[in-house]
Amino acid sequence: VATTLQPAVVGATGYAGFELTQVLLRHPSAKKPWLFGREESSAPKQDLADLYPELQGESLPIRQFDWNEVAKADVLFLATPHELSKELVPQAKERGLRVVDLSGAWRLRDHALRAPYKLDYSSADDSLQASVVYGIPELHSDELRTAKLVANAGCYATSIILALAPWTKAGIIDLEHGVICDSKSGVSGAGKAPTSRTHFVEVAEDFSAYSVFGHRHTGEIVEQLGIPADSVQFTPHLLPIPRGILSTIYVRFQEKQDAAALEKLLRDFYANAPWVRIFGAQKLPQIKFCLRTNYCDIGFSLSPDGRRAVLVSCLDNLVKGAAGQAVQNMNLMFGLNEREGLQ
């Protein structure tokens, strides 16, 4: 068990990587992270503190990406686009590095579910994929303790999977009728570069749905919950706020349910999970309760006939949905307390 880890981060200038760097700077068992930028020698020399004045006084030079230097770290975090993580993860494995990849490139095993990423996977990639652990500590803590490669779970996917896992695993949901997962996210989920969809003028005072029947996180929900693809209807929406996710999840039960028993299933499932808070029946979480924390908050309401429920699950997309969960995974990988360095 290592007690002082040297982390390296690629992508610290992006939203998820910046959040991650801040979490690592506070982590009692981590040294100051080494930051690596692009490989091109023409890339400008920068210090993260110059880009993000929140870090005034810190010296955080962003070095040119070089495997000889990166490979000296104890753990490599990739907060990079899917296409780049797709290439870097096998190269890190060759060098024996332990990796937490925040992208979606290595989260899925099923070829059909991976299709929305439009990445090419070889048969060698399939065998590598078999060794990658899906990074939700609440579901895979044993595998994470020995994992070399971790695919940090998607932000929407984390909010939905954590809410649904206790009841799907108890076998009480009527999957014939399907599960409706209606999620809303703040705009930082789309990364730092504004597009014609995410530009302030487009988003402010508006609310819109997108990627209906085609969002990449659908595959994670299907694969991790082990439920048929056609029983999940996931629609993400863009909220005019910087960060935070609220998922409203509509389920039907096979048999009449009792609110206390449903709540007990949630509480028992997460009895040893420090980063999931159960709000219980009738007390619903809100985005502001979990902002800038690593909590995923879950509550629900049961219909008067006991046959239907609405789950509400909230998290901060940049913390439990990205950087915080990545550090929670790191903690398990290195035998540290799951809570360490997180708030």
Q: Which residues are catalytic?
A: 155
User: Which residue type, as a one-letter code, is found at position 307?
Assistant: R
- Minimum distance from residue 163 beta carbon to ligand NAP (Å): 17
- Which is nearer to ligand NAP, 152 or 257 (by Cβ)? 152
Residues in the chain: 343
Part in contact with ligand NAP (CB under 6 A); list of ranges 13-21, 109-117, 173-181, 273-281: 13-21
Distance CA 21, CA 25 (A): 6
Name which of 44 and 171 has its Cβ closer to ligand NAP.
44
Closer by beta carbon to ligand NAP, 199 or else 283: 199
DSSP-assigned beta bridge partners for residue 149 = 99, 132
Query: In the beta sheet, which residues pair with residue 145?
Result: none
63 scored as a contact of ligand NAP (CB under 6 A): no
Whether residue 9 contacts residue 33, with contact meaning beta carbons closer than 8 Å, is answered with yes
Listed as own residue / partner, the contacts of 212-218 with beta carbons closer than 8 Å and 24 or more positions apart are 214/116, 215/116, 215/156, 216/104, 216/116, 216/117, 216/154, 217/104, 217/154, 217/155, 217/156, 217/157, 217/160, 218/113, 218/116
Q: Check if the beta carbon of residue 197 is closer than 8 Å to that of residue 185.
A: no
Please tell me what DSSP assigns to residue 189.
G
Token digits of residue 125: 């990639």
20 is written with which tokens?
């991650």
Contact residue for ligand NAP among 13, 224, 257, 329 (CB under 6 A): 13
Count of residues in contact with ligand NAP, rule CB under 6 A: 28
- Select from 26-34, 124-132, 159-167, 191-199 the region that touches ligand NAP (CB under 6 A): 191-199
- Indicate whether 324 belongs to the interface with ligand NAP (CB under 6 A): no
Considering the rule CB under 6 A, would residue 10 count as an interface residue with ligand NAP? yes
Is 327 a binding residue for ligand NAP by CB under 6 A? The answer is no
Is 30 a binder of ligand NAP (CB under 6 A)?
A: no
Bridge partner residues of 9 (DSSP): 35, 77
Which position among 5, 7, 8, 14 is part of the footprint of ligand NAP (CB under 6 A)? 14
Of residues 15 and 167, the one with the C-beta less far from ligand NAP: 15
Q: Which amino acid is at 8?
A: A
Q: How far is the CB of 21 from ligand NAP (least distance, A)?
A: 10
Hey, CA dihedral for 98, 12, 84, 229, is it positive or negative? positive
Are 218 and 234 a contacting pair, CB within 8 Å? yes
User: Pairing relation of β-strands 75-78 and 61-63?
Assistant: unpaired
Residue 144 near ligand NAP by CB under 6 A: no
Cβ at position 303, least distance to ligand NAP in Å: 33
Residues 6+ apart with CB under 8 A from 176: 231
Positions in 73-132 near ligand NAP (CB under 6 A): 79-82, 84, 102-104
Give, as one character, the DSSP assignment of residue 321.
I
Residue 9 makes contact with ligand NAP by CB under 6 A? no
Binds ligand NAP by CB under 6 A, chosen from 11, 219, 236, 299: 11
Tokens 């035998």, residue located: 335
Q: Considering beta carbons, is residue 17 or 166 the nearer one to ligand NAP?
A: 17
- Which residues, 213 to 272, sit near ligand NAP by CB under 6 A? none
Residues that bind ligand NAP (CB under 6 A): 10-11, 13-17, 37-38, 65, 79-82, 84, 102-104, 155, 188-189, 191-193, 317-318, 321-322
